[in-house]
């Protein structure tokens, strides 16, 4: 199976998944989308109203802002892979619960393994917690760290700028950091799925 086929297989499983309570209220599951060989992957929180209607990630207000922010970093949406920690909409856009995130992690883990991105950008607290479980987003946003052989950088969620205008500058600042980050990423060769990172890879910078 090639990488596109693996992603399609994950999509098909997600569409039918009943492994957590979120399947009961979803209209369409939202597996995520983007090129199978994307060098950069964005991980958000979970589908909202419009995403649940369309089965696509980040197509509502936060998605429009994401598109604009990507443009400011000279990135087009179709160059990057975009997904979420939970693939089905939490009712009323409530926070995803730990058991839901855990039940859904197998899909995200497989997406990361097959795409093998050089850079992972987490959007908001819930995807940040995957890599920085104890961190406060206000303290570490915009700072990249090597994790498992790739650069992982936590950003504020674009929706934060919509709900709290005073965070707008911080959100924009995070995306401005993408340009130098992608330059830095040219030196990065993430490990294959089965190969643990070499210790020296972790000290590239």
Binding site for ligand SF4 (CB under 6 A): 14, 17-20, 22-23, 29, 86-88, 100, 103-104
Cβ proximity to ligand SF4: between 107 and 156 the closer is 107
The phi, psi pair for 150, rounded to 5°, reads -135, 165
Choose the contact partner of 51 out of ligand SF4, ligand URA, none; CB within 5 to 8 A by kind.
Answer: ligand URA
Q: In what order do the strands lie in the sheet with 150-155?
A: 81-84, 40-44, 119-123, 150-155, 145-147
x-or-dash string of contact with ligand URA, 139-168, rule CB under 6 A: --------------------x---------
For residue 34, how many other CB atoms are within 10 A of its CB? 21
For residue 128, how many other CB atoms are within 10 A of its CB? 25
Cβ proximity to ligand SF4: between 33 and 100 the closer is 100
Contacts of 161 (CB under 8 A, 6+ apart): 65, 167, 168, 170, 171, 172
Among 34, 48, 149, 154, binds ligand URA (CB under 6 A): 48
- Tokens standing for 202? 């972790």
Choose the contact partner of 101 out of ligand SF4, ligand URA, none; CB within 5 to 8 A by kind.
Answer: none
CB of 182 to ligand SF4, least distance (A): 30
User: Would you tell me which residues interact with ligand URA (CB under 6 A)?
Assistant: 44-48, 51, 57-58, 62-63, 84, 159
């Amino acid at each position: 199976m090639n990488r596109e086929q693996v992603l399609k297989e994950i999509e098909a499983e997600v569409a039918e998944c009943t492994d957590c309570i979120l399947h009961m209220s979803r209209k369409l599951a939202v597996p995520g989308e983007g090129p199978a060989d994307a060098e950069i992957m964005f991980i958000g929180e979970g589908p909202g109203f419009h995403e649940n209607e369309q089965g696509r990630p980040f197509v509502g207000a936060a998605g429009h802002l994401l598109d604009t922010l990507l443009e400011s970093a000279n990135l087009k949406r179709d160059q990057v892979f975009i997904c979420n920690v939970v693939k089905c909409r939490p009712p009323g856009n409530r926070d995803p619960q730990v058991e839901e995130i855990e039940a859904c992690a197998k899909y995200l883990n497989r997406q990361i393994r097959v795409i093998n991105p050089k850079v992972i950008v987490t959007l908001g607290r819930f995807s940040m917690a995957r890599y920085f479980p104890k961190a406060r987003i206000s303290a570490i946003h915009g700072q990249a760290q090597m994790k498992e052989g790739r650069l992982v950088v936590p950003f504020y969620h674009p929706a934060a700028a919509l709900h709290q205008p005073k965070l707008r500058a911080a959100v924009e600042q995070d995306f401005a950091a993408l340009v130098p980050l992608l330059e830095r990423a040219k030196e990065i060769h993430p490990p294959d799925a089965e190969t643990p990172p070499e210790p020296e890879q972790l000290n590239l910078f």
